[in-house]
Amino acid sequence: MYITIAKYLEICKASNQNMIAMFNRDFGEQDRYEKTANAIATTWLISFEQITRNAPLATLYLRNIANFTEKDIPISLLPDGRKDWDKVETVNILKRYTFVLDRGTVNRFDIYRLVHIAIRNWIQTQGDLGKQITKVICQLSEKFPWPTHKTRDVWTSYLPHTQTVLEFRGHYIKKEILELLQHNVAKVYNFPRQYKEAEQMHRKTLALSKKVLGPENPSTLSSMNNLALVFNRQGKYEKAEQMHRKTLELRERVLGPKNPSTFTNINNLVSLSKLLCIRKLFSRIY
């Protein structure tokens, strides 16, 4: 079967499912394409095999990029090479093979949608998705900065890609590192006051921490405290008070009444109690 350029572009604009089907579909030219399903897959496979043989770091980058979003990928998010210029040189190799393209922004690039889907599909067929997600999350947990105003430019550029990776959290193996990354992402949502998203992420972090580390682990208690603070910021004062009291009770038992974390919990609870008293007073007056 002959496929025109117009038809090819039409397929490229189609859904992910159609594009994956295109890579697996037999176009009827058995003799010409014995080892692949179609001419497009053949072209891609030849280029990929060349990169695998000649540029192993480029192969590693493609496996990483397959788990990110397609647009605005920072070079700094990729694993480091042996030399400082390895990253730029390796990304240039991918550009020459037309796997990725310039954005016109320094140290940023995009990956072609068709390549993005093809690499991800290839990883799945190799049965390596769990291992690959684990590696990428480990790298992100090391690179994703503690969210502050000073690091804002970094974490805002990393956030879309981190969110995409976290969608695959079910395949992840090392749950402790996943818990740390989710915690940092949850903190990010506090900056633009996206407290609903922050609450969802803190709930996931707390659930994971309880499962992996146990309900009385200090990290689990910190996750409880963070969730209580988010409740407070949303005006969910009853839930916040309940969570603070429960966290304080556990911290006193596990860490002791004089532990700094216990004092922090007491301070949070006292502050909330004062706020509730002021609110009650104003409600009586007005």
Question: Mind listing the pLDDT tens digit for each residue in 210-247?
Answer: 887 889 888 888 888 889 888 988 888 889 889 989 99
Name the residue type at position 251. R
pTM over 0.85: no
Where does the pLDDT of residue 60 fall: very low under 50, low under 70, confident under 90, or very high at 90 and above?
A: very high
Question: Mind listing the pLDDT tens digit for each residue in 171-217?
Answer: 655 667 777 788 788 878 777 577 888 888 888 888 878 887 889 88
CA–CA separation, 204 and 138 (whole Å)? 18
Question: What size, in residues, is the chain?
Answer: 286
Pair of tokens at residue 236: 């969910």
CB atoms within 10 A of CB 34: 8
Identify any residues that bridge with 109 across adjacent strands, giving them in sequence order: 73, 102
Q: How many CA atoms lie within 13 A of 73 on its CB side?
A: 26
> What is the torsional sign of CA 125, 131, 134, 136?
negative
Assigned superfamily of 181-286: Tetratricopeptide repeat domain (1.25.40.10)
Q: Is the pLDDT of residue 271 over 60?
A: yes
CB atoms within 10 A of CB 220: 24
CA–CA separation, 107 and 102 (whole Å)? 9
Give me the residue spans of the domains in the chain. Answer: 181-286
